[in-house]
Amino acid sequence: MISACIFDLDGVIVDTAKFHFIAWRELAQKLGFNFTEKDNEKLKGVSRMRSLDILLEVGGLNFDKQKKLELATEKNDRYVELIKTLTPADILPGVLDFLTDLKTKNYKIALGSASKNAMTILQNINLVDFFDAIIDGTKISKAKPDPEVFLLGATEINKKPEECIVFEDAQAGIEAAKSAKMYAIGIGKTENLKGADIILNDFLAQNIDNLTKKLTR
Ligand code: BG6
Ligand code: MG
């Protein structure tokens, strides 16, 4: 029986991709090349260091490990400045109602995010208290599509994988959920969510009873 939901953060609960984009683009410009919104798509769900590698590939550049750490830190400092502007008004449409519905029905709720800034973001949008477990980039060693983040989430809320639905906006996240043997609901465009059990545009007018019916029939 489905009795828990595990949420990705960036792109599912709040749209932080625009801030990642600003910070990465500024870094690219400093390094002397252009980084487009289309390039930014490739960074969704991907870890910070892997994102930097993808960005440097776009610019045809390579640096040693030390320099890469400096660049990633510089990008993150800028990103941290940008996410300070987040407030509860930035929670994506329908998410708050959906979480409230889950709480009312006694579902367990976990976060499964690659971001090391997840806690700051949840605090800024005032959602920390909804979560029974928060697994973020500071707690995992393997990035999505590895299932580690979701399996750890399920363990912390005492659920088996088959009792969990994962909500994800990135291909790597859908793959992570499926290899964890969980249900995967994609949020966004079909082409970025191959293998998802259901795909939704957003959480507006959704409720857990309808979704579990569709998943288990
Ligand atoms: C993911 C984002 O949630 O977190 C990626 O989709 C990001 O774009 C990754 O690179 C790591 O985030 P952070 O905040 O630790 O740099
Ligand atoms: Mg995401």
Indicate which CATH number applies to the domain containing 197.
Answer: 3.40.50.1000
Burial class of 30 by CB neighbour count within 10 A (0 to 12, 13 to 18, 19+): exposed
Of 60, 83, 106, which one is at a domain's C-terminal end? Answer: 83
Distance 135 CA to ligand 1 centre (A): 13
Of 83, 106, 129, which one is at a domain's C-terminal end? Answer: 83
Q: For the chain (length 217 residues), average pLDDT per consecutive 10?
A: 97 96 98 96 92 98 98 98 98 98 98 98 98 97 96 98 97 97 96 95 96 94
Task: State the pLDDT at residue 217.
Answer: 83
| Ligand 1 neighbour 134 (Cβ under 6 A) | no
Task: State the pLDDT at residue 182.
Answer: 98
Task: State the pLDDT at residue 191.
Answer: 87
Question: Catalytic site residue 8?
Answer: yes
Could you tell me the sign of the dihedral formed by the alpha carbons of 126, 153, 143, 174, in that order? negative
Task: State the pLDDT at residue 118.
Answer: 98
Burial class of 106 by CB neighbour count within 10 A (0 to 12, 13 to 18, 19+): exposed
Question: Closest ligand 1 atom to the C-alpha of 11?
Answer: 6
The total domain count for the chain is 2
| Ligand 1 neighbour 16 (Cβ under 6 A) | no
The DSSP secondary-structure symbol of 117 reads: T
Q: Are 145 and 179 in contact (CB under 8 A)?
A: yes
Domain identity same for 9 and 99: yes
Residue 26 half-sphere exposure toward CB, CA atoms < 13 A: 14
Distance 137 CA to ligand 1 centre (A): 8
Distance 121 CA to ligand 1 centre (A): 12
- This prediction has a pTM of 0.96
| Ligand 1 neighbour 169 (Cβ under 6 A) | no
Distance 104 CA to ligand 1 centre (A): 30
Of 32, 58, 83, which one is at a domain's C-terminal end? Answer: 83
Task: State the pLDDT at residue 115.
Answer: 97
User: Position of tokens 């940008």?
Assistant: 82
Write out the residue range of the structural domain in which residue 171 sits: 4-15+89-216
Q: Are 126 and 13 in contact (CB under 8 A)?
A: no
User: Position of tokens 């700051």?
Assistant: 120
Q: How far apart are alpha carbons 113 and 111 in whole angstroms?
A: 6
Q: Are 143 and 136 in contact (CB under 8 A)?
A: no
- Cα radius of gyration rounded to whole Å, the chain: 17
Q: Whose atoms come closest to the Cα of 168: which ligand?
A: 2
Task: State the pLDDT at residue 204.
Answer: 97
Q: Are 178 and 148 in contact (CB under 8 A)?
A: no
Question: 4 φ, ψ to 5°?
Answer: -150, 150
Which residues contact residue 215 at a Cβ distance below 8 angstroms, ignoring those fewer than 6 apart?
Answer: 2, 165, 183, 197, 198
Domain identity same for 115 and 210: yes
Domain identity same for 61 and 129: no
Question: Catalytic site residue 10?
Answer: yes
What residues pair up with 184 in beta bridges, in sequence order? 166
